[in-house]
Chains A and B, each alone.
Chain A
Amino acid sequence: MSASEFRKKSNQRRQVLIENLVESITGIARNTPNFRKAVKFSIENIDDHQFLSTMPSVVDRQYKNLLDKLEFHSQIGKLNALQHAVTRLRGIQDVTKDQDREDFVYSCMRFLYHLSDRVLDYNIDNERAISHHRQLQFVESVSAPDVHDLVSSLRSINEEFAGDSGAESEGTLSDWSDEEETVSGEKSGETLQKETTPMDERDECEQVDTTSEVNRMSTVIGMERKHVGMSKPVDMDPSLGFKLPRYVSAPPNVPLIQTNLAIACAEMDEGRDSLSLWRSKYLISHEQTVVQQVLQMLAGRTGSLFTWQGCTCGLKDVHVGSNDLRSFRDRCDGFLQCQPVTLTHLSPESLSSILGKMMKISTKLERLRRFSRQYLSPDSGKTLTQQAFGLSVSETLESFDEIVNGLIRTSHSERPTLQVEGSHTSLTLIVVERLIDSKVKEVDLLTFLAGGVSQREVPSPSHSTKRILDFLFDEASMTRMLPDEGCYDLLHGIFTATLRPYLHILDHWLAEGSLENDTCNEFFIQDVQVEQEAGLSDQVQPRTSQPSVSRYWQMFAIRQGGDIVDEGKIRSSSVGTITISRESNSLDDFYTGMTITVTGKNGKLLSAIVKGYIGAKRRVLVDLEDTVKEDCLYVVTTVVPAFFRPLCSRILSAGKSVNVLLYDGDTKRVIRQVLTSQRSILSTFEQRMKFRNRRLRIGQGVVQDSSSACSAKSTPVKSRPTADYPSDLAERGGGGLVQLSWVFQQIHASTTSSTERVDDLFHVHLPLNDDMSCQVSFPDSADCSFSDLPPSSLRHFLASADDEEDEEISEDLESSVLPFEKLMEEALLKDLERRVEDLNEELVKYLVNKFDLIAHLNVLRRVYFMAAGDVLHEFAMHIFQKLDRNEPWNDPHTLNSLLQSSLPPSKSITYGTISAQIDAAQDPRKRKSASDASIFALDGLYISYSVEWPLNLIVNEQSLKTYNNILIFLMQIKRAKIALNADTHADKNAIVKDSESEWEMEELQTRDRIGQDASSAERYGSPNTKYLLLRAELRHVVNNLENYIMTQIHGSGSVMMEKEIRKSTNLDQIHSLHLRFLSRMRDRCLLHERAAVVADTARKVLDLALNFSVSYPRYKASLQKGEEDWEEMREAEESLDRVSKDFHRCTRLLVVVLSKIVSRGFHPHLEDLLVRLSFNDYFDASDSRR
């Protein structure tokens, strides 16, 4: 193949890869002109830069990992949400203030609703996830500065295309920009670069929906990283010097960029000529004007930048927003005109991008201001909720305006400077941008909310209110789930502010039974009533009746305040119409064949209310023997706010049998006969109502005014004074709720204890079905005969109760009087905690299976504990050799390349994701003993090891330090050992030499028998056995130290850790396990400061071993030379003797200290060392000898 052919082929291949990349980055569909343009641009760009590595294998490999990462992110997000829930639930008890409590209860309810409905099934949309991976992967796979170039180029193309290719590319781009921020935020080194790259300006999405999507997704991808924090810190012994670990990776430290460039420029030019000086000064004032104009624009005032006649001083004019602004210029209402603006320290692109951004913000601001004005104006006919929303929006805007106004004030000063992050900077465009940057998100959010709230016409105020509340609630809870505290706080604030009027109405309705507060007819009940009017007359269809048999219904009607109008027809002003029909002629059995139909606005109302959360419901009207049955399907428009439905359902249907709610349209009085539910929410209200001076005492009202038109009930207390009813409550006339709950307790008790009593009690409820079509009253007169209630009624009651709700009547009703806190805990905490556990397990699985945590820990062990023979061996040997030769050893480049080469390739270990570097000799101890010959020479060595998120949650800096300490100690031992073993091969030669020297000696002796120096004979006589034994002793201590650490401590420790990690169920646990393993390792390797005596002694022995290994060869050499080197020999001998003396002192100390420690039982692991050291009691015995 010729060269040109080859080039052609490779170019083709490259083009395919680039096309793939462009597709994944921009999201533009292939085969469109835009795509071709983008590809062309990219190729040109790449040709210019020659940077991009487009190896498919790299890309593929990263995909997989990134998918896992994303999943991990989302899991952690979920976990956070859940843990937050648990924490808040646990913290319920602490809330004391009434108001706080109220807020809290609502937020809890909202929260729970959301949890049950959404979060737990929340999953990231797959396609979206993949596109994010691609982007993330792309950024990671190529070098960052180049990426910024390419990306910004691609983006600028995309913005050009924005007009034609529409929302599709826009959305992706926005994602991209957020994505990019996250990535570069991680790499703090690039931060500055990013800040100064003008292309990085965020592309603000005009479409609110997309913006919110972006926010959400960026929350999913990025923000969570900052919130990975677990709720409880890992307990560590503070004396160990560990800081409490944090999962939170620190937010990128964004330095405030150099803002006074213009001034600096001016000062630099000052020395030159007057023209430059003038120019600079002009530029400064020019920028000030621009800033002022921008601020004015932001403040929504006239005199905007775009009507301002700019400079014409002969400098190069730049048109603002030639490209960038074009796309949204049309959408900007007020600020249309572009005028030439020039600033020296900003490139035209940056300038236009900043100004463009400002324009967008001010457009949004203006829109918001108009919105809030509109909603707040008294004659706009907005509902209370809308007004509340408008108010909260305008309050938020005020905080923004404050900032802008402050800046305007500053800008008008002589030399506008202000203090930002502790330093004084002049007020330039970039500073303004930076300062309002934090608010931009809020403005976006507000715009989005305002858009959502103001959309669409709705049939009625209650619909509108419902929609607003639902919308806000959804947003708030969505943000809550994806923890971005800033957004959440804002949304939460707005939501609670908006909800307040509604709650007020609700509260009043519950407490007072009136809807006086509902001036705008936005409460859901109101709505039903309105709808109800039309159908009222149709429903009144009396059927045959036999009033004579119905004592009960007479009583009932009387109690309703109505009168019996006709045969079988009972009119009640408050109930509507109640029809009693009888099919059978039997007079004996009261109930046989009788159909009771209650129609009328109130009955409907009630059903509708209940159905508010169901949507449609079957209403069954039955007789008791199933002879007549009336069904009708009843569909009601949903007007209850979604988050409120569970609550309503509790209020309205929890009581099952006697949940009666009457509404009198004329007097606007709600009479409520609430039966306490078996669940939480109702009892909350119960408590709240108690707080409100117990005004809801329906029973009392009845007792005091039995002729009242209000429906009322009297309690069984009246009829059965013998029942053991709490006397204090009875005296108070029985607070309705308390009484009722007591009644139901009684019911429950009877169900379980005595059927007779059950019968009695259930008489009360007989005529009801759960549809609440009619109201029941508790008869208080003795002439009501219930004894003839057939047993079937009980069945019916129970059956219908079962139908109504999943919860059975036999459920523990006693819990109904538990306080809210307890109920919340009982009902939810367990479930939540279980889910937290599940998630935690999931995360652990991810960490262990997908991210190979254990493999990484093994690598760490291999590297730092030199556990796998060869790893680091060459590296260590290299350093030792250099040290022995007194050469400089701490050249980082050499060390690094050595380190890299000494990590062997392995199939099972993914070295690809790790990089080990050396910060060699950062802190070489400049003390005397730290010479190269000393054992302490290695102290400055530091090997760092970096792993990717999320593994760095476990393997963090703190743990690496410990790893390093251990490594240094191990290397010291190794060095001593190698030094001691170094001349082993010379031993056999020594044997030969020994035997030779024997002969020599004999010759010597025969030759110089007379006048023979006795000492020389002795010297020859005991040549090196003494030192050989010394060497053996040294070896013994060093070897056993090594054995002790590697077998006993490291071997068993790591086996245990691996086992435990595989068993562990959450991240915290793994983290603490790892830390515990490390601290144990450290303690047992004698590196804890409390063991300093032992460690120092051990190091001293190692040092002596080194000394020995230096002196001994000298001694042997001089021994061979004989007389020639007398002095040398003497010196060597002395030095060896010194070593011997020191060594014996050290071992004695070591053994004594160890024995003491062990005998006191402080550190059981040290016993092992002691056993090994004095296995044959040599040291003990030698102690006594000495």
Chain B
Amino acid sequence: MPREIITLQVGQCGNQIGYEFWKQLCLEHGITQDGLIRDDMEVDAGDRKDVFFYQADDEHYIPRAILLDLEDRVINGIRTGEYRKLYNPENFLVDTQGGGAGNNWASGYGQAKDKIEDIMDMIDREADGSDSLEGFVVCHSIAGGTGSGMGSYMLEALNDRYSKKLVQTYSVFPNDGESNSDVVVQPYNSILTLKRLTLEADCVVVLDNNALNRIATERLRIPKPDFTIVNGLVSTVMAASTATLRYPSYMNNDLVGLIASLIPTPRCHFLMTGYTPMAYDLVERSVRKTTVLDVMRRLLQSKNMMVSTKMHSQQPGRNPCYISILNIIQGEADPTQVHKSLQRIRERKLANFIPWGPASIQVALSRRSPYLPAGGPRVSGLLMANHTSISSLFERILKQFDLLIKKKAGSVDELKDEFDDSREIVQSLVQEYHACESPNYIEWGMQQRGGPSD
């Protein structure tokens, strides 16, 4: 019984990520650019293609993907690219004017509202084509216009229409207010989207442009990484995080299992990820021994995280810690090593966990796709972690937002209430993460709510 997942790619960034993601999935499932099964390999992969694909009448595989954008550049690229035959042409939605959202959240949100009928048609069609739809995956960035605005609206719409389905997002967070940022109103967009991510999504995998660039330059040794490189990183993470769904074993073979074990309280559902070994590391693999312990230890290093946060804060009163960790180890991992690795990590206190509840590193062993060319790393690992330091990201955005508000940049008046509301929710999210660091988290809800009455 497949537990299908429908992917929504929203905006320029979302579609670029999605493109790379599907490329990776095709590779891992032995599907050609035309959606056919590769006939040069006779493998009994035992994989579950139907989580992300379905089969057309002529047996070729079609992604359960819906591609949304308000400008046609990226989507046209996909339509004319090598994978043009893969997608269902009915699942493209591009604004006919092609004007885009102009980096304006409100524009994206508004245009989405206008087009929601068409979009919902597509989603309903895909949902009806599934036996037991488990949820949606949304890829987008929160800085631009389409990804944030349209993405926000889609989150609301999905939650409205499919309230019993899970919604997981892969959200790319912007660079921190540096001069190279081309979008001035990025903090506005971010804060407004963050509200929806907090309220409407079950799980947000945070991907931070800073960190991605940092990894590309530091780990991959590429001085000026372009989008393809960065998107490749994202697609690697996305593919690895869904590996247990596509190559099922007894454990973690559904999305809910993954999410539930990582997210103890609903609001704290922003996850950071880490991956090792990176492509560049592979060059040095001749001198490297990739054992389970090795992979698990590397995954806990902040340089491998796809989010730039201060995991070891010097701030007084702060004690950033892991709420939960899930390691997905792919490849020829020796199960007997898992225990030893856990023991070692525990002894060396490599991971600092919450004080208010039980927590441990969960390890899921997954097969490596037999379709992948040989010569990859023997063992590779993905970390998905719920860490309180993610709040620093939100704090940064809040700070930028406050600065921008102070400057009164852009037209803020019509959205004032929305801004206030969003800011409050993000602020409270930050507070909740802070509260998570103390042993008294259990009383936090009471205090917080008790607050107004005092």
Contacts and interface: CB of A to CB of B under 8 A. Distances in A.
B445 A1025 contact: yes
A1029 B360 contact: no
A985 B261 contact: no
A1173 B44 CA distance: 36
A984 B167 CA distance: 11
Interface string B215-251: 0000000000000000000000000000000001111
Interface in A1025-1041: 1025-1026, 1028-1029, 1031-1033, 1035-1037, 1039-1040
B159 A980 contact: no
A1036 B446 contact: no
B1 A984 contact: no
Given A989-B163, A1178-B358, A1021 B446 contact: yes
B425 to A, nearest CB: 8
A908 B248 contact: no
A869 B167 contact: no
A874 B131 CA distance: 12
A869 B446 contact: no
A351 to B, nearest CB: 58
B46 A868 contact: yes
A1043 B363 contact: yes
A1052 interface: yes
Interface in B72-128: none
A1171 interface: yes
Interface string B392-410: 0000000000000000000
A1026 B359 contact: no
B348 interface: no
Given A984-B260, A988-B202, A1025-B265, A1001 B449 contact: yes
A1037 B338 contact: no
B359 A1176 contact: yes
Contacts of B452: 1002, 1005
B278 interface: no
A998 B449 CA distance: 7
B249 to A, nearest CB: 5
Contact of A1173 (B166, B249, B335, B358): B358
A1175 interface: yes
A1033 B355 CA distance: 12
Contacts of A10: none
B202 A985 contact: yes
A988 B201 contact: yes
A1036 B359 contact: yes
Nearest to A1039: B261
B353 A1175 contact: yes
B260 A1035 contact: yes
Interface in B232-285: 248-251, 253, 256-257, 259-261, 263-267, 269
A987 B266 contact: yes
B1 A874 contact: yes
B198 to A, nearest CB: 7
Contact of B359 (A865, A986, A1024, A1178): A1178
A1024 B266 CA distance: 11
B449 A1021 contact: yes
B362 A1005 contact: no
A1174 B361 CA distance: 11
Nearest to B356: A1029
Contacts of A998: 449
B336 to A, nearest CB: 4
Contacts of B163: 985, 989
B48 A870 contact: yes
A298 B28 CA distance: 78
A865 B250 contact: yes
B442 A1029 contact: yes
- Most B CB atoms within 10 A — which of A877, A991, A998? A991
Interface string A1155-1186: 00000000000011001111110110100000
Interface residues of B, number: 64
Contacts of A908: 44
B44 A1032 contact: no
Interface stretch (B16-24, B206-214, B339-347): B339-347
Contacts of A1048: 335-336, 338-339
Nearest to B354: A1176
Given A870-B1, A907-B44, A987 B362 contact: no
B200 A988 contact: yes
A1055 B164 CA distance: 39
Contacts of A1021: 445-446, 449-450
B257 A981 contact: yes
Contacts of A32: none
A990 interface: yes
Interface in B32-51: 44, 46, 48
Contacts of B442: 1025-1026, 1029
Contacts of A874: 1
Contacts of B257: 977, 981
Contact of A990 (B48, B164, B249, B266): B266
A144 interface: no
B334 A1032 contact: no
B453 interface: yes
Nearest to A1051: B335
Nearest to B162: A985
Contacts of B334: 1052, 1055
B165 A985 contact: yes
Interface string B155-190: 000010001111100000000000000000000000
Contacts of A986: 164
Contact of A1036 (B336, B356, B357): B357
Given A869-B253, A987-B266, A1029-B264, A1051 B365 contact: yes
A253 B48 CA distance: 47
Nearest to B247: A869
Interface string B438-454: 00011111100110110
A1180 to B, nearest CB: 10
A924 interface: no
A483 B144 CA distance: 84
A992 interface: yes
B199 interface: yes
A984 B166 contact: yes
A1025 B167 contact: no
Interface string B274-298: 0000000000000000000000000
B446 A1018 contact: yes
B433 to A, nearest CB: 14
Contacts of A1172: 342, 360
Contacts of A1178: 353, 355-359
A720 B163 CA distance: 114
Contacts of A787: none
Contacts of B359: 1036, 1175-1176, 1178
A1005 B166 CA distance: 34
A868 B356 CA distance: 35
A99 interface: no
B311 to A, nearest CB: 16
A685 interface: no
Contacts of A980: 260
Contacts of B265: 1025, 1028-1029, 1032
Contacts of A981: 256-257, 260
Interface string A341-358: 000000000000000000
Contact of B346 (A991, A1031, A1175): A1175
B202 A987 contact: yes
16 contacts: A870-B253, A906-B44, A908-B44, A980-B260, A984-B256, A985-B135, A1001-B449, A1002-B452, A1017-B450, A1022-B449, A1026-B442, A1036-B360, A1042-B250, A1171-B360, A1174-B358, A1176-B360
Interface of A: 865-870, 873-874, 877, 906-908, 970, 977, 980-981, 984-992, 995, 998, 1001-1002, 1005, 1017-1018, 1020-1026, 1028-1029, 1031-1033, 1035-1037, 1039-1040, 1042-1043, 1046-1048, 1050-1052, 1055, 1167-1168, 1171-1176, 1178-1179, 1181
